[in-house]
Structure 1
């Protein structure tokens, strides 16, 4: 695949930080997460996962540092499309800090304003993000106060809890896949592979991708036990929308003569020449570029947006 959308790392981070909202009730998950122990390390990992995509596609122009100095918890340095160095600072505020503010034990607003000023003056950031990793319901009024007090600070962006938790909880594979899709959204191989999956029922597409990964891993034999194993994987992936187990016989019927060769009641063999060509091309592209997660098959499932399509089909 090739990059077809020249989003720089700063633009990509902005897209992810407001890309997956959760409910205000869900933000109670922040209550037991601590700034140094949980929030800073994980946000750093999320940014690194995003940057790994740029590295995989040959753009070694990004750097990420995690430290507590100059008003910044995480500092991202990158080049924009014109070759200019830019810096993004991230400051994280925890629920514990908000509760101390609530109890009048911490002058959080004054501290935050000082951190913003220091980040622009000393770290020389171009943009500054404040991630409010707090319970959105309990701290509703304090969140409004922060947004109001900081609204006139130029290039300072407040990420509210419903957006911050969406970014925090995004699985690495989902984050990696979404970054690839945004960068390579017009790539011919990716679009063709997506079309190949869209032409199949979601469960058939899942089986096809799983069997393709098995075949390229060196095993062509498929027996009934293996089919039931894949069905169990499908149930884990699709949850309540997986369907009834007797659907497996219908899936097998759609795979026979194409992806699978053989007769019912006997062992089957994966037919390499029957595998979708664009999916195969995507598999080997990922095999070369991606070092992460559970293998190219899992990456492909994310890239062709199978989970999103399943949700849309049900909706």
Structure 2
């Protein structure tokens, strides 16, 4: 797909960190260690965002082991016609937050430590945008109060973004296909093939769109005949409230009836069918683009197109 929106990598990252919430986040971060869990996983998520923007020269590195000087994750990017821009991320683990709240704590308060790390990031790394990830407990009053104090401290600073537990967990737990699909929907929204793919699905219900996408991709990946029950599993929406999922059997029957007219539908028995994927060239094009660009196939590819198109 062609890039039609010149958003920067930092703007893409901001889309995830400002707009995505994980519901009812509580103690998910409790047992995750700063160095062994949080830094590597967040680095992978950031790297996936950067990979999704191939037109930029990007660099990402988990530099926690390299004498942490104010940042846990650092990346640099350069957009067309722009100078390089450095972005830093500082991560505070559940344990660090808990330790900072102890009355008999040793060392400086977390707020003071963050302030000195911010200055280090500016002076030693030339960071222009500084993210603070607070990986605490979204339900604990003490953690929430600490988050409010930190937000208040940086509320007037345009170069600092405080990311609370809900948004941090939402980003931490994203799959590669979710990141790739969301970035593509922003960067390539005006792409001709993407628009045609969406148009090709307009006349189908959401559940039928999901089943059809799965059907085409399963056939492209070598399944000679596809079972109706498997397709109906893909028809279920990812949200909890999807009224169109009430009668997937009827939706499947209507889909089969429509495909008989133009997709060379064949059936082995009453529950196993085959279609010609070339009847949906736009879906085929997006699938192969995904395999080449991100190396995603199988169920991940199906869910990628679900996220992108439905």
TM above 0.5, yes or no, is: yes
Matches for 1:108-257 after TM superposition, within 5 Å: 108-138=110-140, 139-153=143-157, 155-219=159-223, 221-222=224-225, 226-235=227-236, 241=242, 242-244=245-247, 246-247=249-250, 248-257=252-261
> Is residue 51 of structure 2 the alignment partner of residue 74 of structure 1?
no
Give the conservation status (yes or no) of the 8 Å contact 1:95–1:135.
Answer: yes
* 1:31 matched residue in structure 2: 30
TM-score between both structures, scaled by the size of structure 2:
0.86
SS of equivalent to 1:54: coil
- Deviation string 1:3-62 (CA, Å, 9 cap, x unpaired) is 000111111111211121234x3243223322122211111111111112123xxx2500
* 1:63 matched residue in structure 2: 59
Give how far 1:152 is off: 4.4
Count of aligned pairs = 297
Give how far 1:280 is off: 2.6
Q: Name structure 1 gaps, 5 residues minimum.
A: 307-315
SS of equivalent to 1:191: helix
Give how far 1:209 is off: 1.6
Alignment partners' CA distance in 1, 2:30 and 2:273: 51
Most deviating of 120-129 and 75-84: 75-84
Give how far 1:216 is off: 2.6
- Deviation string 1:112-147 (CA, Å, 9 cap, x unpaired) is 111001010011111111111111331121111111
Give the conservation status (yes or no) of the 8 Å contact 1:4–1:187.
Answer: yes
Alpha-carbon spacing, 1:160–1:245, altered in 2? closer, same or farther (3 Å): closer
Alignment partners' CA distance in 2, 1:146 and 1:218: 53
- Deviation string 1:169-223 (CA, Å, 9 cap, x unpaired) is 222211110011111011111112122223211222223222222333345x426
Give the conservation status (yes or no) of the 8 Å contact 1:30–1:133.
Answer: yes
TM-score between both structures, scaled by the size of structure 1:
0.84
Q: Name structure 2 gaps, 5 residues minimum.
A: none
Dislocated runs of 4+, deviation >6 Å:
none
